Amino acid sequence: DIQMTQSPSTLSASVGDSVTITCRASQSITEDLAWYQQKPGKVPKVLIYGASSLQSGVPARFFGSGSGTQFTLTITDLQPDDFATYYCLQYYNYWAFGQGTKVDIE
Amino acid sequence: DVQLLESGGGLVQPGGSLRLSCAASKFIFGRFAMNWVRQAPGKGLEWVATISASGASPYYAESVNGRFTISRDNSKSTLYLEMNFLRGDDTAIYYCARDNVDDSGIPRGYFDYWGQGTLVAVSS
């Protein structure tokens, strides 16, 4: 099974900051990685697929990069609506989520 | 817009069984692979099971393999999850989610639309 290790588990930031979340796969998953945002009591929302492709309707301040085993999600100019928990998902071989990164207000 | 509506959750005793349903609408259900994802209270997301568009190919997480069965009825646009031998660590919100496809209809593998979820609580 492919394991996804996401870091950090919690991240404190302020409005206007840039933040970066990392996901590492236990083996190469090429670019079969998606990023999700989930707010408390809400359903996950896909932000990025194919490691770097922006899902339709998602603001361009969300940027995904990486391939193989190392991936990052960068959020620039953090907005109040961006404080949430973020998950990566590998879909190269079966499916597996990272443990999540909570972005909260500093 | 795409709609996915889960039902069938509830309180069940350890060792018991439950059948979840996910009614789909506003898209051609039989053209999409479908998935179940769960989230234990206060915890992260966990993939549970996936079934191909035709229903011929199911896939399971190790934690549920042999206890859960995913199935679908394309004539009813409905996805199912039969859960047997339930344990306390199966307690979670269960979401159904649709697999995304590209312009040629080929599954991409990630989940684009999610239902609101149904809560399964396993307790004596």
Q: Tell me the average pLDDT across A76-99.
A: 97
Are the C-beta atoms of B53 and B32 separated by less than 8 Å?
Answer: yes
pLDDT at B103 over 90: no
Q: Tell me the average pLDDT across B17-32.
A: 97
A24-27, long-range: CB < 8 A, 24+ apart: A24/A69, A24/A70, A24/A71, A25/A68, A25/A69, A25/A70, A25/A71, A25/A90, A25/A92, A26/A2, A26/A69, A27/A2, A27/A69
Q: Tell me the average pLDDT across B95-103.
A: 93
Q: Which pLDDT value is given to residue B106? A: 86
| Nearest-Cα residue of chain B relative to residue A102 | B44
Q: What is the DSSP string of A3-24?
A: -EEEE-SEEEE-TT--EEEEEE
pLDDT at A15 over 90: yes
Q: Which pLDDT value is given to residue B64? A: 98
Which chain A residues contact residue B44 at CB under 8 A?
A: 87, 97-100
CB contact under 8 A, B59 and A94: yes
Q: How far apart are CA B19 and CA B60, in angstroms?
A: 16
Q: Which pLDDT value is given to residue B102? A: 86
Which chain B residues contact residue A98 at CB under 8 A?
A: 44
Q: Tell me the average pLDDT across B39-67.
A: 97
Which two tokens mark B123? 């307790």
In angstroms and rounded to an integer, the radius of gyration of the C-alpha atoms of chain B is 14
Q: Which pLDDT value is given to residue A106? A: 84
pLDDT at A104 over 90: yes
Are the C-beta atoms of B8 and B21 separated by less than 8 Å?
Answer: yes
Of A1, A32, A87, the CB nearest to B45: A87
Give contacts of A 19-38 with B, CB under 8 A: 32, 34, 36, 38
pLDDT at B21 over 90: yes
Q: Tell me the average pLDDT across B21-39.
A: 97
Does any CB of chain B come closer than 8 Å to the CB of residue A46?
yes
Are the C-beta atoms of A73 and A19 separated by less than 8 Å?
Answer: no
CB contact under 8 A, A43 and B114: yes
pLDDT at B107 over 90: no
User: What distances in angstroms separate CA B13 from CA A78, B68, B77, B93, one per listed residue?
Assistant: 44, 16, 30, 16
Q: What is the mean pLDDT of chain A?
A: 97
pLDDT at A26 over 90: yes
Which two tokens mark A26? 């236990």
pLDDT at A47 over 90: yes
